Amino acid sequence: MTINSCMSEFAGRRVQTWKPGQKISDVQNIAFKVGIEPDEGDWSEIFSGFLETPGVEKVQALVVGAWEDMVEGGVCDAVVEEIADAAAKLTKLEALFLADVTFEECEISWIVQTDMSPIFTAYPQLKVFGVRGGSELDLGDLEHENLEVLIVETGGLDESVVKQVGKSRLPKLRHLELWLGDGGYGASFELEDLRPFISGEKFPNLKYLGLRNSEEADAIAKLLAESPVLSRLEVLDLSLGTIGDEGGEALLASPEIKKLKKLNLRHNYFSEAVIKQFSALGIEVDTSENERSAKQDDRYVSVSE
């Protein structure tokens, strides 16, 4: 999966890049993004400036952009440490996302992450946590009373992270979004590791389940089609995957599928016939960017300019 654009919205708020010297206001509607421009500046310095800005104690949502040398190991540790240390100031922080960068800045599978547990410890009031990049990612012994939304975006999810989520204690979780990725970029989990989420036994309050960006999407779709979790979910998100007609037909055959509010199947591999059946389901189904639709001629004559 290629991240082509920065987030425009996070946790229901508009993402706005904070620049040194800027004021902090409208914290209800703005997620403040703190990051460096490529090859310019120092993340720690910008973040210190942010923390010294009047009104910072009111900030509810923070998006971390790029830090220097994201592709090198060990750098992210300091970023996590500084965010954890800022907890005394960011007392209203509810939503945090780490590494909103496009592939032009840094490829998702190249971002080197680290142990996130200092953040969960420092922010017991956190409701939304998202992280992009699966390399060296560690969620620790994940226990959090208030976390409602957990997003892990990767090009390839390591089995250790899947297992950490499987063992976690997140009593309020209602939105679980895992970008599973492919083996070539570090996906090392077994389908069995996903069973607690697919069966629905792990998070009984879940309303949104996203098992996205997966090369195992057909098998996952088939398991989900037979799972009682469908009857409890509002949104099932299997977008950015490789589901073909086999997985599609399994989903269609499930009597529970119509109870969803939304089924997101954007960017998969269905035939036109199966797409038609999804459209006839009577619920909101997104089958845009289907990869098997109308093959086009991609070659072009270069214009001499």
| Residues forming the site for another protein (CB under 8 A) | 2, 4-6, 8, 37-40, 69, 71-72, 102, 104-105, 107, 110, 184, 297-305
- Our CB check for another protein shows the closer of 280 and 299 to be 299
71 vs 191 by CB, closer to another protein: 71
Provide the CA 87 distance to its chain's centre, in angstroms: 23
Beta carbon of residue 19, minimum distance to another protein (angstroms, whole number): 9
C-alpha span between 28 and 5 (Å, rounded): 23
Shorter beta-carbon distance to another protein: residue 23 or 299: 299
| 40-53 as b/e: b if 16+ CB within 10 A | eeebeebbebbbeb
Task: Between 294 and 303, name the residue whose CB sits nearer to another protein.
Answer: 303
Task: Please tell me the distance from the alpha carbon of residue 44 to that of residue 289, in angstroms, as a whole number.
Answer: 39
Q: Work out how close the CB of 132 gets to another protein at its nearest, in angstroms, rounded to a whole number.
A: 15
Q: Least distance in Å: CB of 7 to another protein?
A: 8
User: Closest distance between another protein and the C-beta of residue 36, in Å?
Assistant: 9
Mutual orientation of helices 43-51 and 75-85 as an angle, nearest 10°?
10
What sign does the CA torsion over 196, 198, 204, 206 have?
A: positive
Q: Backbone phi, then psi, for 58, in 5-degree steps?
A: -95, -10
Nearer to another protein, 41 or 166 (CB): 41
Buried b (16+ CB within 10 A) or exposed e, 15-39: beebeeeeebeebeebbbbbbbeee
Radius of gyration for the alpha carbons in the chain, expressed in angstroms and rounded = 20
* Shortest Å, Cβ 187 to another protein: 15
Query: Which residue, 5 or 28, is less far from another protein as judged by CB?
Result: 5
Shortest CB 179 distance to another protein, Å: 17
Number of neighbouring beta carbons within 10 Å of residue 82: 17
